[in-house]
Structure 1
C-alpha cells in the first residue's frame, strides 16, 4: 500500500519557471499599458491636431529627432556596458580562495544558473535606457547642430565664427558631459562585475585585484581622462559666457588666468591618461593615485584659487583700465546680438518755440494723439459691448486703419467666449452649443462722442460697421486669447452664433478648416482620455462629421506648433478682407552668443515668452492665426537670422516667405512690444560706446519713471500697458515702475510724413530715481518701407527738459487739475476723476505732454473723456478738446477735424458727433471754490467743538461738490 506521499498529484508540479516569468512579464506589460493610456492618447491626438493644420511634418520631424537621439545613445550605452560586463566575465579567475565572501558570491552565481548571458543583456539594456533616453531632450540642440549656419561674425577672443558657439558647441558639450557620466558609471559597473566574478577580493590577504582586472579598470580611467582633456579644450570657448568680470564674456581674469589654467588642465588630463595606461604594466595603484591627485591640485589651485587671486589683487584695483578692451568687445557683441547695432542716433534740441506754422505742419500728429489708452478703453468695452455674460473683451490692442481716407490709430478688442458665463452649466451647453465668441469692437483712440464715450466704428451684436474695411464676414471667434477649453462642432446640437441685446438667438454651423474628426470610436476614446472626460465617448449628439477644436489659445497654438520659438505676450487682432486674424510675434533666442550681455527682462510680463535667460534675439517670425478657422501661417520676416535659417532647413514646409505676406496684412504689422521693452531697457546702458563712459555709467540712462505712480496714486489709472497688454499680465520692475512703450501715429522730428511708431523716453540713471529730466527717446518704426528701424533722439546734456514724472507732478500741482482731482476724487461725490496715460509728443524742436482726464460715475463704472491736459514748457492748460487746449496754449490751432463718425447703435448708420455744450469752466471752478471754503469752515467748527455747525457745513460742501460733479458729467466733450 502506498503512503500518501507516494500518491500521484493531479496537475503535476504546477506552472514551470518559464511560464511564471512569461506571466509576470505580461502582467507588468499590461500594468504599464494601462498607466500609459492617457499619454498614448495625448500622443495620438497631438498627431491628429498637427495633421489637421497641415504641420504633420513638423510633428514627425521633432519626434524623429528625439527617436534618433534616443536610439543612438541607448545603442552606444548598451554596447559599452555589455562589452565591459562580458570582458569582466572573461577575466574571471578559474580558482577562488574559500571564505565567507566566496560563499555569498557562489549563491549569487547559483541563482543565475545558466541565465548569466541573458542577465547581462537585460541589465545592460536597462542601464542603457536609463542613461541614453534622456539625451532625446537635447533634440533642439541636435536639430541646430545638424543644420548649423555661419553668422559671418567672429568672436573677439578665439576668432571663431559665432555659428560654432550657437549651433555646434552646445551639442558637443552635451555629448561630452554624457560620455563622462557614462564612463564613470562604466567604472562602477565594471568594478561590481569583477567583484561578482571573483576578480576583486576585499577580504583576502595578498593581491586583491588581479593584473588583468587592473588593466581593464585602468583603460576605463584613461578614457575618462581623455574625455576630460577634450572637455577642458572646449571649456575654453565657454569663457565667452563668463560672468566673472564687470561685463559678461571673457574678461581680463578669464583671458590671463583662467584660460592658461584650462590649457594646463588639458595637459594634466593627457598626462593622467598616459599614467593610467602605464599603470597596466606596473604593480599597485600609485600612478593612478598620482594622476588623480595632480589633477585635483591643479583644478583647485590653478583653476580656482589663481584666477580668484588675479581678479582680487590685479583687476579690482585698476578695473576700468584692465577691463577696457573686454568692455569694448561686450558693447559690440551685445548691440549685434540684441539688434541694437544699427540704431540711428539723431540730436534733438527741444529749446525751440512752436509756431502756428509748426502746428499746421504737424496737424496729423496732433490729430492722432492718443487720448484713449487700452486699459481705459477695455473698461468701456467691457461695460458697453460685452452684451451677454458669456462674452468677454479681455484685451484691447492698438493698430491703425485707413478710415475716410485718413490713417487713424484704432483700439480693437475681440469679443470672446467666456465659458464660465454660459447660462447652462451642462457639458452640452459648454462644449457643443456655446462654442465661440462674436466679432470685435473698434474705435479711434483720438476722439469721443458728445457724452464722452468713444466713437465706436464697429460694435454691437449683430455687428454694425461704419466702414467697409472693418466688415467681418465670419465674425465667429473660435480661436483667441486665453481660450483653454475644447468644443465640438457639427453635432446634433445647434451652435448658438449670437444672442443680441433682446436675447434673440441666431444659430450657425461651423464650416472652417480647423478641427479633428471625432466620428470613430477610437478617436472618441482617445479624446475622452486626453481631456479626462468620458462624455465625448458616450454622447449621442456627435455625428460622423463632427469635429473637435482644441488648443484654441493663439499663443499656445503657435508655441505648440513651433516649440523652439519664444512667443510675445501680446497678440493682436487685425481685420482684413472680411476676416479677423491674430498676429502673433515669435522670436528666435539663444544664450550662446559670445561676449554678449544677458538681456534684462525684469520689465516683461510674467507670461512673456522672453521671460527667460538669453543674450540674442530676433523677431524672425510673425504667425498669423485665423480667428474663425484656426489656420496658422508663419511668415519669416527676418530671413537674415541664422537661427531661423537653421529651422527652415530642418522644417522646410513650416514657414512661408515674407514676400508672400499680403500687402493689406503687412500694413498692420507693428514692432513687437516685448522686444522693444528689452531693447530700450538695454539701450539705456549700451548707447555708450567708449569703455570709460560705459564703466563709469555717469551718462547712462534709464527708461522714464511711470507717471501713473509718479503722481498721486489715488488719481491715476491702474492701466493696461500702453501698447495693449496680454490679459492679466503684470510687469515686474525695479524701484519705481517704468513707463510703458506706446504706439503713436506721428511725424518724427525732421521727417516729412506721418509714421506708425513705438516710443519710449529715457531719463538719467540714478539708484534712488531722483533724476527725472528727459534725456532721450527711442522710436521703433512699423511702416512697411522702414519696418524695424530704430532711431534714438538724444537731447543735449545742457538743454534737458522735464521728463514724464516731473510733468505729471506739475500737472498734479496745477490748481484747476488738483481741484478736480482732490475734491471729486476724495470727497465721496459719487464720481471719480482719473488720469489716462501721459503721452510724450515730440513736435519739431519741442515736446508736448498730453494727458486725458476721465470722469467715472460709481453707478456706471464707465470712464467718460471730459478734459484734455497739455503741458508745454512751464505751462499747463486744461480744456474740453485737444484743439481748444492748443488754441489756449498757442493762440491758434490747426483744424483737427471732427474725427471719424461713430456708428449709432442699432442703425448701422454713421452719425456726426454732437456739438459741445460744456458749461464754462469758471462755473465749475466757482462751485469747487465754494465747496473748499465750506469744508474749511466745517473743520474750524469741529476744532471749536461745534458739532452741529460742522455737520451743517460738511453737508453744504458735499452738496456743492455734487453740483460740480453733475456739471462735469453733463458736459459733453467733442471730437478732437
Structure 2
C-alpha cells in the first residue's frame, strides 16, 4: 500500500515538474524573443507588473480568508468536544464523528488550504489587470474638469479604475469570509445542538460584528465611488448624468453613505451590547433606505418633476454630454465648410482636374481579390490575402494604387510536401507584391499591373530590392533559418531559386540547451532531431503581425487593416494603433466598448526581419503620454520615421468610421435640436453585388475646394435620418502637414443633392443599364456591382460605379462597365474614359498618359491611317466579343464606333 502511494506521489511530482519546466521554457523563449527585438525592458515591466498584481491580489484574499477562518478555530474545537446529552432518563456522552480531525494543527492547515485555493485562482485571473496599477502611478492630466465634481478627467481614466478594482476585490473577499464564518458557526451550533450558545459566545459576537462593521465601512466607500459612476449613467436621454441622477441619485448616495457609517458604528457597539435584534434592525433599515432612496425616490423625481418639462430640465446635461462626447472622439476639431449644391462641371473642369479623374477607383477590392488570386498567386502555396489601397509618386505622378502582399500559406502546400523540414526550414517566406492602378483596365477587363510576377517586374521607377516576406498576416508557424540547407525563395521554371535569411532579429538556437528549451516551449520534439542546425541558425516565431505587435504592446487597440508598403526598396507593414478607454466621463460609448479614442501610434513592421517600431502620431494624448512614462524609450516621435515611410501614413479606417458615426449625431450642438433629433444624420447605404449594404468609407485623391494640390483623403457621405438625399460629406486628410485633420462639407439644406441610394435608384431605372445587367445575368454569368464613389471635383460631385462580369465557371471577375452620373445624365460605358465624353463632350476625355491605358474611342483628325486601321481592327474584335456574350447594346455601340473610324479612313483616302 505504501509503495503504491509512493508511486502515485512520484507521478504527481513528475507531472508538476514537467508543467513547471514547460512554463519555464516558454517564459525563457519569450524573454529571448523580446530581447531580440530590443524590448526586454517592456518584457520585464509586463512580467513584474503581472506577477506583482497576481501575488498582491492572492495575498489579500488569502490573508483575509485565513485570518477569519483561524478565528473560528476555538469554536470548532469546542463543538468537537465531548458533552453530556440528556436522552430521557439516560445521560450519554456525545461526540461528533469528525471530532478526531478537530485538532489545532489540522484546522490551521485546512484553513490555509481553503484560503489558498480562491486566492491563487483569483490572483491568476486578475493578473492581466496590471495596467490599471501602472496607469495610476504614471497618470497624466487631461486638463479637462468634469462639471459635477470638478475633478480632472485623469481621475476617472487612471485612478477611479484602481479604486473600483480594490473595492470590488475587498468586498468580494469580505463577503466570502462572512459566508464561510457564518457557515462554520451555524454548523458548530448544530453540532452542540444549541445555536444560542454559539451566538452568545463572546468570540463569535466579536467576530461577526467586526465583519459586518467592515462590510458597512466598505459599502460606505462604495457609495462614494458610485457617485462618480453617475457620470456614466445610461438612464437619461443622453449618456452621463441627467437631472434625476444629480438631484435624486447623487443625494441618495450621500445619504446612504452616512447610513452605512452609522450601520458600521452600530455593529461595533454590538460587540458590547450583544443585541442580535439590533443587528437585524440595522440591516433592515439599511435595505429599506436603499430601496427607497435608490429606487422609489429617483423614479418619482423623474416622473413628476422631469418628464413634464424634460427638455428644459435636461438642458445643461445635454450640453455637457455633447461637449464631452465631441472631446472624447476628437470631433471638436472638425472644420466645417459649405459645399454648393447643384453645380455642373464643364469639359474644361474635367481637364483641369485630371489628377482627380485619373485616380477615381474603378476597382472594388472584393472582386479584385479574386482577380489577383487568379493572376498573381502563381503557385497554390502563395496567397494574396488582402487588397490594400495606398498612394505612390510613380514616374513623377501622384497615383492611387491597389496592392497586396504575396504571402506563403503552408496550409496550401501539396500533402506530400507537408514534411516537418519543408514547413519549418525550407518554405519559410512569401515573395513580393502585386500592385495595380485603381482605374486602368486592360482590353480583357483585367487590372493593369504596375508590379507583378515573381521576381517582381515593373515598367515604373518603383524598386523592390528585398521582396522576401518572413512576417505578415498569414505566417503563423515558426521557422528555423540560416541552416545548412538553403531556403526556397521562389519558383523558377522547372527549378527553384534558393535564398538564405540575412536578418538579425531572430533568436539563435544553435546550442543544445536552447534546442531543448525551444522544443519544450513549442511542444515539438522534432526540433531536437532536426539536422542542419548550426551555431548561426536562428528561429523566427510570432511571425503573424497580428500576434507579434499586440504581444509587445497588449494595452493598445489595433486597426482591423494593417497594410503593406514599398519604401526604399523594402517591404514594410504599417499598422495604426489606438489608445482607448471606457472611462471618459459624459462621453457616449461606441459599441459598448469604448468612449474615448485617439490614433496615437503608427506601428511599422519590417516584413523581412520582423523589427517593430512604434511612432507617436498624437503626442498630445494623455493616455499615450502615460504609456510613455510606463515604457520609457519605446515610443519614438513621428519625426523619427523614415521620410519614405511617412509618405504612406494615412487617416486610419476604423478611427474614421467611429468618428463618422459619432459625428452623424454629435454635429448637433444646440440642445434643442439634439433633444428632438431634428438633424440626425445616417451612414448611407449602397448596392454591393445585388444587396443593399451600409456604405464604407473610401480613399481617393482629389483637390479639395480652395486647395492648390491634390491630396489623399478618406470620404464618407451623410444622409438625413430616414431619408436618402445627401446633406454632407466628411473628409479625413492624410498628406503632409494636413495629416489627421477632419473636414466636413455641408450642403445647403434647402436644395436637393442626390444621395448614394438615390443614385442607385436612377441607375436601376435606366432602361439601357437595367436591360444590359439582366442580359448578362441570364447568360451564364453574374454581374457584381462595385462601390459607388461620390467624388468631389472642384465644386461639384461626380458619381462613379463599376460593374464586373464573372462567368459561372470562372473565379476571375472582369471590369466591363463604368457607370457615371452627373447632374441629370446617367451613362454606362466600357471605361471611364468613354463615359466622360458622353456627359461633358469630346473635350471631357482623359488623354492617354501611360502605357497600357485603354485607348479612347474618340479619334483625332490628325491620326495616321495606320493608327485608324489599328483602332478599326480593335473595335471589330471588341464587337465580335460582345456578340458572343449576347451584349447586343455593346455590339451595336462598337459597330457605331467602327463606322466612325471607317468614315475617317474614307475621308483620309480622298
Shared topology, TM-score over 0.5? Answer: yes
Cα separation, 2, equivalents of 1:686 and 1:885: 39
Residue 803 of structure 1 is aligned with which of 726, 749, 755? Answer: 755
SS in 2 for 1:763: strand
Q: Is the 8 A contact 2:386 2:405 kept in 1?
A: yes
The alignment covers a number of residue pairs equal to 876
**Match status 1:777 vs 2:729:** yes
Residue 669 of structure 1 is aligned with which of 618, 633, 649? Answer: 649
Q: Is the 8 A contact 1:555 1:584 kept in 2?
A: no
CA displacement 1:778-809 (0-9 Å, x = unmatched): 00000021111010111111112211111122
Q: Is the 8 A contact 1:749 1:845 kept in 2?
A: yes
Summarize the Cα distance change of 1:403–1:205 in structure 2 as closer, same or farther, 3 Å threshold: closer
* Alpha-carbon distance, 1:743 to partner: 0.4
Q: Is the 8 A contact 1:199 1:209 kept in 2?
A: no
Structure 1 residue aligned with 2:856: none
CA displacement 1:946-968 (0-9 Å, x = unmatched): xxxxxxxxxxxx97827778899
Residue 491 of structure 1 is aligned with which of 479, 483, 494? Answer: 483
Residue 377 of structure 1 is aligned with which of 357, 368, 371? Answer: 368
Summarize the Cα distance change of 1:22–1:805 in structure 2 as closer, same or farther, 3 Å threshold: same
Cα separation, 1, equivalents of 2:885 and 2:64: 91
**Match status 1:67 vs 2:59:** no
Q: Is the 8 A contact 2:576 2:603 kept in 1?
A: yes
Structure 2 residue aligned with 1:172: 163
Q: How does 1:556-955 map to 2 (within 5 A)?
A: 556-600=547-591, 613-708=593-688, 712-713=690-691, 736-766=692-722, 771-828=723-780, 831-857=781-807, 861-893=811-843, 896-901=846-851
* Alpha-carbon distance, 1:492 to partner: 3.3
SS in 1 for 2:799: strand
Q: Is the 8 A contact 1:517 1:545 kept in 2?
A: yes
Summarize the Cα distance change of 1:737–1:318 in structure 2 as closer, same or farther, 3 Å threshold: farther
Summarize the Cα distance change of 1:129–1:23 in structure 2 as closer, same or farther, 3 Å threshold: farther
SS in 1 for 2:603: strand
**Match status 1:51 vs 2:35:** yes
Cα separation, 2, equivalents of 1:527 and 1:555: 22
SS in 1 for 2:702: strand
SS in 1 for 2:579: strand
* Alpha-carbon distance, 1:117 to partner: 5.3
SS in 1 for 2:362: coil
Residue 253 of structure 2 is aligned with which of 253, 256, 262? Answer: 262
Cα separation, 1, equivalents of 2:143 and 2:871: 62
Structure 2 gap segments, 5+ residues each = 86-91, 854-866, 899-910
Summarize the Cα distance change of 1:919–1:306 in structure 2 as closer, same or farther, 3 Å threshold: farther
Summarize the Cα distance change of 1:561–1:114 in structure 2 as closer, same or farther, 3 Å threshold: closer
Residue 137 of structure 1 is aligned with which of 112, 125, 128? Answer: 128
Q: Is the 8 A contact 2:389 2:401 kept in 1?
A: yes
Cα separation, 2, equivalents of 1:186 and 1:861: 65
Q: Is the 8 A contact 2:687 2:785 kept in 1?
A: no
Structure 2 residue aligned with 1:305: 296
Q: How does 1:206-355 map to 2 (within 5 A)?
A: 208-355=199-346
Structure 1 residue aligned with 2:903: none
* Alpha-carbon distance, 1:208 to partner: 4.0
Cα separation, 1, equivalents of 2:193 and 2:872: 103
Cα separation, 1, equivalents of 2:231 and 2:840: 57
**Match status 1:428 vs 2:353:** no
Cα separation, 2, equivalents of 1:569 and 1:231: 38
Summarize the Cα distance change of 1:839–1:97 in structure 2 as closer, same or farther, 3 Å threshold: same
TM-score, reference length from structure 2: 0.89
**Match status 1:98 vs 2:23:** no
Residue 359 of structure 1 is aligned with which of 346, 350, 371? Answer: 350
SS in 1 for 2:441: coil
Cα separation, 2, equivalents of 1:204 and 1:695: 61
CA displacement 1:131-151 (0-9 Å, x = unmatched): 545442321211211211111
Residue 435 of structure 2 is aligned with which of 430, 439, 442? Answer: 442
Residue 446 of structure 2 is aligned with which of 449, 453, 456? Answer: 453
Cα separation, 2, equivalents of 1:885 and 1:303: 67
* Alpha-carbon distance, 1:567 to partner: 1.1
Cα separation, 1, equivalents of 2:608 and 2:271: 73
**Match status 1:961 vs 2:886:** yes
Cα separation, 2, equivalents of 1:834 and 1:644: 43
* Alpha-carbon distance, 1:176 to partner: 0.7
* Alpha-carbon distance, 1:429 to partner: 1.8
Structure 1 gap segments, 5+ residues each = 1-13, 601-611, 714-735, 904-911, 929-957
Residue 407 of structure 2 is aligned with which of 416, 440, 457? Answer: 416
Q: Is the 8 A contact 2:837 2:845 kept in 1?
A: no
CA displacement 1:761-791 (0-9 Å, x = unmatched): 111112xxxx211111100000021111010
Summarize the Cα distance change of 1:807–1:93 in structure 2 as closer, same or farther, 3 Å threshold: closer
Summarize the Cα distance change of 1:876–1:206 in structure 2 as closer, same or farther, 3 Å threshold: closer
TM-score, reference length from structure 1: 0.83
**Match status 1:76 vs 2:60:** yes
Q: Is the 8 A contact 1:782 1:788 kept in 2?
A: yes
